[in-house]
Amino acid sequence: ETPAELPMAISAARSQQFRWNKGGAENFRKMAWKLVKNKHISAKTKAHGLLHLLNSTMFLNIFIVAVLSIPMLYIKNEYESLKPYFYVMSFFVVSSIIFFVCYWFMYKKIYGNSLKDFIEYLGMFFTFFSIAMGFSLHNSVAVLEGHFGKRSDFVRTPKFNINSLSDSWKNNKYLSKKIPIYVLFEGLLTLYFGFGMYSAFVVGNQGGDFGLFPFHLMLFLGFGYVFFKSVTSSV
């Protein structure tokens, strides 16, 4: 067992996430071509390695899909001929189901597999998934900086040494009070995905289209949480 401390403030979580995801993209730039050229590694291992090196880039994909999902919702219901294409594309939801199942196997191994455990896991998973998507803009900036080779300072994650409920983290000298500019965009995206939920009720001529409603709900909650915590923790 290794003693560790999770970030206590949203600014600490931001600096940690930024460093990790930018580092992942930088590792891709550094290692990808060496991996491809290596003659002692199978094609299967190379493909697996490249996907692993692109791990942090998933946030950029999530962000792009999220932003485009609302225009796609209107296009789907405006052009009937395109609906079969969207039905086929919905197959990729399976990846989220696989993600859900994999985490459940790990969760039940540690905490149990009763009905109560499963209900608690549901709440934790969707909370985690929503907040992870809420960080997608912030992490996309980090990934792009890594891929384009932009240099930046190494910002350590503040440690607070919280051992009891009476301990305070608010006076830590490493704690950043500055609000990043993209917090404003996270607030705007909260409204944007709120509009996405509203759109589910009004698009089409058959009483709405709720296929993307859960996705937009999680994005709304995720971006809303990240925006709210970023603003309130800096006051």
Each of the 235 residues of the chain gets a pLDDT tens digit; together they read 566 777 778 888 898 999 999 999 999 999 999 999 999 999 999 999 999 999 999 999 999 999 999 999 999 888 888 878 887 777 778 888 998 999 999 999 999 999 999 999 999 999 999 999 999 999 999 999 999 999 888 777 777 777 766 666 666 666 667 788 889 999 999 999 999 999 999 998 788 899 899 999 999 999 999 999 999 876 5
In-domain check, residue 15: yes
The pLDDT value given to residue 106: 92
The pLDDT value given to residue 87: 79
Domain holding 43, by residue range, is 10-159+166-232
In-domain check, residue 4: no
Q: How many domains does the chain have?
A: 1
- Rounded to whole angstroms, the Cα distance separating 146 from 126 reads 28
CA 29 to mean position of chain CA atoms = 22
In-domain check, residue 30: yes
One-letter amino acid of 87: Y
In-domain check, residue 20: yes
- Rounded to whole angstroms, the Cα distance separating 181 from 192 reads 18
- Rounded to whole angstroms, the Cα distance separating 97 from 185 reads 29
The pLDDT value given to residue 165: 65
In-domain check, residue 1: no
Between the two ends of the chain, the Cα-to-Cα distance in Å is: 36
Q: Is 83 exposed, middle or buried (0-12, 13-18, 19+ CB in 10 A)?
A: exposed
In-domain check, residue 2: no
In-domain check, residue 197: yes
Place of tokens 């384009």: 148
Q: Under a CB-based contact definition with an 8 Å cutoff, are residues 46 and 32 in contact?
A: no
Nearest to 73 by CA among 221, 189, 213: 213
- Rounded to whole angstroms, the Cα distance separating 162 from 169 reads 7
In-domain check, residue 3: no
